[in-house]
Structure 1
Amino acid sequence: MNRLKQRIAAGEQVAAAWIELSNPDIAEIMVHHGWSTLVIDGEHGVGDLDDWVAVARAAESAGADVVLRVPDGSDTTLKRVLDRGFRSLIVPMVNTAEQARGIIQSCRYPGAGRRGYAAPIVRASDWGARPGYARDEAKDELLLMLQCEHIEAVENLPQIAAVDGVDLIFIGPNDLAGSIDHLERMMEPAPQDLLRRIEATAAAAGKPLATILGAGRDWADLRALGYRFMIGPNDISLLIAGARAAAAERDQTAVAKAGGY
């Protein structure tokens, strides 16, 4: 039922873009212009849960798959976003297998976890129209990516990757570099060595990887390395780039006219 989970399980390499401004119109525009998978950034982006749901509705109605990066992995946060219908999640700052198991427990109903029950009255079950939601569907449709973005997570990665229910390991390259005092210096040898170490560990565990563009890796590099989920531009950066390009064109035209061309 989760199309994105099915695509990744089938071996597809999925490319996505960030939504930072929590604006449904922006999300809809991006879907109609080439971005069929969007990641709503609830960790660093604008807005709250109601904003994220509005963005998801717009994107999904336009035909996109939607992922939410939650601000944290607490019971309350995970319960609320799951109840509101998000079924593909990125959870930041997961450094131990104990944390990973706790997140899984928060996402699963009793019998397999500790998620609070309100299945018949939440958006996730189509407001009770899916009678099998709590029994089987919620667990089966969840796509869960845990962020490896600290040296502690690298040390514990074999154990994290072995936790049942972890679908992908998501690398946050700049936070990873920052954890070894190399913030915004991702191209230096030490951060690059950590990236290679994560890639080797994940491959040995048979666990797919996800990440963002950067740290010297473009789309082609990430595809060649076997990454299954890759996030590129964000709405703010696209707006900045467009504004700068338009301003530069304006100024070049003014200079040319002033020079009599």
Structure 2
Amino acid sequence: MTSSFKQRLKTPAMIPAAWVELGSPDIAEILVTHGWDTIIIDGEHGRGELEDWVNVARAIEACGGTAILRLPDGNDTLIKRALDRGFRNFIVPMVNTRAEAEQIVSAFYYPLRGHRGYAASIVRGSNWGARPDYGLVDSFNEITIIIQCEHVEAVDQIDDIMAVEGVDMIFIGPNDLAASAGHLEHLDHPEVLDLIAKVEAAAKRHDMPLATVRSAGRDWRELDQLGYRMVAGIFDVAMLVESARRNLTEATGQIAAPVKTY
């Protein structure tokens, strides 16, 4: 089974994605049904634990969508459990060095490629044992590993991180990147923009797909023209907040104070 998402990364079209933070299968189902076919389940900042994320993924996949799980961190045990529970597309946050990237990639694969623990015949990832080749085939074709670059240290080592076999995409996290440079919530600061430009230049050198969030005044068109392969542009909490505020203003004429978005 080749990951359809992994295959989409080889095409030139930008992939628009939506975050789901609230852990609701219904919200994910609504988004996919109305055209947002790539959904990032946010296990780092969103609600829920692994079994909640599995239920959201089931709703996404039942509608024909693609589920991507952003893990809370690069913990080996959680990677193993998420794989066993059937996830194939992952974002791993806060990866700052080549050594960290190598350790994380190794956690996704069985020996001799990696060090993942084996229980292939009894897990959801193998369709409960219905796939006798699970674990024996080249699982590089099945798993998509997206590494987040969101710290100045990661930018300093970005060429080495991109050179790690098994890293499929780099996701620039502009908010944490800005914070690590001392510019929290100032995503348009020249130093932050320079850090992002360094990652973009490295991606061209390595032919590495890039992803990011729509922020700092960079709209869909600009990010597409810059060559980003995936852009996470909407998320459930913001849509609910924005709709609630807009409709309340229409109903009462009162304009609420501005709130922060992603």
TM normalised by structure 1 equals: 0.95
| Partner Cα separation in structure 1 for residue 141 and residue 117 of structure 2 | 17
Structure with a larger share of its residues in helix = 1
The aligned counterpart of 1:216 is 217
1:96-115 CA deviation, whole Å, 9 max, x = no partner? 00000001110000111000
The aligned counterpart of 2:141 is 140
| Partner Cα separation in structure 1 for residue 139 and residue 43 of structure 2 | 21
Q: Is 1:39 aligned to residue 15 of structure 2? A: no
Tell me the SS of whatever aligns to 2:253.
Answer: helix
Tell me the SS of whatever aligns to 1:135.
Answer: coil
| Per-residue deviation, 1:138 | 3.1
Runs of 5+ unmatched residues, structure 1: 254-261
1:40-99 CA deviation, whole Å, 9 max, x = no partner? 000000000000000000111011111000001011011011111110000000000000
Residue 24 of structure 2 aligns to which amino acid in structure 1? Answer: N
Q: Is 1:21 aligned to residue 22 of structure 2? A: yes
The aligned counterpart of 1:180 is 181
The aligned counterpart of 1:257 is none
| Per-residue deviation, 1:8 | 0.8
Residue 221 of structure 2 aligns to which amino acid in structure 1? Answer: A
| Partner Cα separation in structure 2 for residue 18 and residue 233 of structure 1 | 6
1:197-222 CA deviation, whole Å, 9 max, x = no partner? 11011111111111111022111011
Runs of 5+ unmatched residues, structure 2: 255-262
Q: Is 1:230 aligned to residue 234 of structure 2? A: no
The aligned counterpart of 2:82 is 81
| Partner Cα separation in structure 2 for residue 144 and residue 213 of structure 1 | 21
The aligned counterpart of 2:258 is none
Moved more, 132-141 or 116-125: 132-141
Q: Percent identity, aligned pairs only? A: 52
1:215-254 CA deviation, whole Å, 9 max, x = no partner? 221110110000001101100100011111111111039x
| Per-residue deviation, 1:137 | 5.0
Q: Is 1:111 aligned to residue 112 of structure 2? A: yes
| Per-residue deviation, 1:34 | 2.0
Q: Is 1:149 aligned to residue 150 of structure 2? A: yes
| Partner Cα separation in structure 2 for residue 167 and residue 91 of structure 1 | 12
The aligned counterpart of 1:130 is 131
| Partner Cα separation in structure 1 for residue 223 and residue 149 of structure 2 | 16
| Partner Cα separation in structure 1 for residue 67 and residue 34 of structure 2 | 16
TM normalised by structure 2 equals: 0.94
- Flag the structure with larger Rg: 1
Residue 61 of structure 2 aligns to which amino acid in structure 1? Answer: E
| Per-residue deviation, 1:189 | 0.7
Residue 25 of structure 1 aligns to which amino acid in structure 2? Answer: D
1:25-52 CA deviation, whole Å, 9 max, x = no partner? 1111111112111000000000000000
Residues matched between the structures, number: 253
